[in-house]
Amino acid sequence: MTHSEIEAITERYENRESAILSMLQDIQAKEKYLPQEALERLGEKLGIPMNKIYRIATFYRAFSLTPKGQHEVCVCIGTACHVRGAQRVVDQINLELGIRPGETTKDRNFTLETVNCLGVCAAGPVAAIDGQYFGKMSPAKVGGTLKKFRSDKKKKEGANGKA
Amino acid sequence: MIPFSIDGQPVEGREGGNILETALDAGIEIPHLCFNESVKPYGACRLCLVEVVRNGKSRMAASCTHPVQKGMEVFTRTEKVLRARKMITELILAMCPGDKLIQEMAKGMGIDEVRFKKEEKDCILCGLCARVCDEVVGANAIHFAFRGDRREMIPPFQGEATNCIACGACVVVCPVDVIRMKEEGDERTIIRWKRTLKMKSCKVCGNYFAPWFQLEKFKEKAKLPKDFYDLCYTCRS
């Protein structure tokens, strides 16, 4: 992230120290994670010591300090989804992609996360990929669902290659 | 001054003060780990728990963060307090079984066996080092990271503490003595924060007396003359 990008974010909140969380969210939205340089620049700009920013950035699970994949796979393991076999869905994804919750595939295409509720318990077990919801998931459906996002990326790469 | 009583003994607390400092001033012993009078109270260790009776109602409160109030009665050795204190000590011991001070405290309270799952930590997460670093030294080198059972006291990004001036304040203040410092030749290392800094030698006696980085920072902050730190403390006085 460049200096001017950070500046645009801090100015959006009038350089207020109290808006640090919103600023971190904006950085995360842009980069999909919080890069160290971005945090250092943010600290310099606002005059907040690094130890405080790091404390905030590690406290909230919504922030990640490690790079995330192109697509974020969120599997709900809340009570309703859990009793309907959410863990089996997680296991199947683990098998397909070779990543555990919190990890990212080597090609940086997928990141697997578990959440405690997605708000659609009636459709459980639920998984959300990039905010798109997939209800009544089962281990059998995992492969097909992931495929959509796999080919999606390949298509784009192909297009880029031609251009 | 605000009059109240601790264990039936009449005491007077400072306006805006807390129970613990008043008790310690009056010579009443309340065990504590995370309290230090040079920094703001934080209430992390919960060991200074006392029973506070006010308007006929009793409640348990950490005495370091509880403000003094007129006419309240504080009890530091009731059965309830002792039981809670014992439990807290046992929990801290389960987290840090290797700490000498905690072991001694536990022994003194009659804890023979820890009933909880033992962890291999050494830091009790009282946050005193970080608070001294922020409030007294002003270096802001370390702080808590992560949360819940994964909470840790580490430098930002887990590597070297790049803001650390190796003053050693955290080493002195750590209640369980797990932050260590070593000096070899012209270098001082704060082992826990992976920080090594070159020391400056005195122009008279030639002894290495403090890290360069620290002296430069102090000079800048206090606007001292350039040659202020050419001599060590002993040679200057």
Of A53, A55, A65, nearest to B144 by CB-CB distance is: A55
Q: Are residues B143 and B210 in the same domain?
A: yes
Q: Is it the case that residue A131 has pLDDT exceeding 90?
A: no
Asked whether the predicted pLDDT for residue A162 surpasses 50, the reply is no
Optimal mutation site among A36, A37, A53, A58, interface B, most CBs of chain B within 10 A: A58
Are B185 and B151 within one domain?
yes
Question: Which A residues in the span 111-130 are in contact with B, Cβ-Cβ below 8 Å?
Answer: none
**Structural domain total, chain B:** 2
pLDDT computed for residue A84 by the predictor: 93
Q: What is the pLDDT of residues B142-159, one digit of tens each?
A: 999 999 999 999 999 998
DSSP for B197-236?
Answer: EEEEEPTTT--EEEEHHHHHHHHHHHT--TTTTSS-HHHH
| Residue A5 pLDDT greater than 70, yes or no | yes
Question: Do A80 and A47 reside in the same domain of the chain?
Answer: no
Question: Would you give the DSSP letter of residue B54?
Answer: E
pLDDT at position A155 is 54
Q: Give the pLDDT band (50/70/90) at residue A120.
A: very high
Whether residues B157 and A51 touch (CB distance < 8 A) is answered with: no
**Three-state secondary structure call for residue A67:** coil
Identify whether residues B173 and B206 lie together within a single domain. yes
pLDDT band at A152 (very low <50, low <70, confident <90, very high): low
What residue of A is the nearest CA neighbor of B149?
A59
Q: How far is A133 from chain B (nearest CA, A)?
A: 29
- pLDDT for residue A154 is more than 90: no
CB of A133 closer than 8 Å to CB of A126: yes
B31: exposed, middle or buried (Cβ count in 10 Å: 0-12, 13-18, 19+): middle
Chain B contacts in chain A segment 49-88 (CB below 8 A): 49-55, 58-59, 65
Same domain? A100 vs A141: yes
Closest Cα in chain B, distance from residue A162 (Å): 40
pLDDT higher than 80, residue A163: no
| Nearest CB to A54; choose among B134, B147, B157 | B157
**Number of C-beta neighbours around residue B105 at 10 A:** 20
Check if B157 contacts A (Cβ < 8 Å): yes
Strand-pair partners of B183? B188
Q: Which structural domain, as residue segments, surrounds residue A145?
A: 71-162
Q: Under an 8 A CB cutoff, do B142 and A51 touch?
A: yes
Which of B26, B17, B33, B5 minimizes the C-alpha distance to B175? Answer: B33
**pLDDT < 70 stretches in chain B:** none
C-alpha dist (Å) from residue B74 to B68, B71, B81: 10, 10, 11
Torsion-angle region of B223 (φ positive above 0: left; ψ -120 to 50: alpha; else: beta): left
Q: Is A54 exposed, middle or buried (0-12, 13-18, 19+ CB in 10 A)?
A: buried
| Rounded CA separation B148/B26 (Å) | 36
Does one domain contain both A86 and A158?
Answer: yes
pTM, 2 dp: 0.82
Q: In terms of domains, do B174 and B203 share one?
A: yes
A48-52, A64-68, B49-53: segment of lowest average pLDDT: A64-68
Helix intervals (H) in B109-181: 128-131, 169-173
> Does B86 map to a domain?
yes
pLDDT at A157: 53
The ipTM assigned to this model is 0.86
Contact A51 B146 (CB under 8 A): no
Tell whether B142 lies on the interface with A, counting CB pairs under 8 A.
Answer: yes
Q: Is residue A66 part of a domain?
A: no
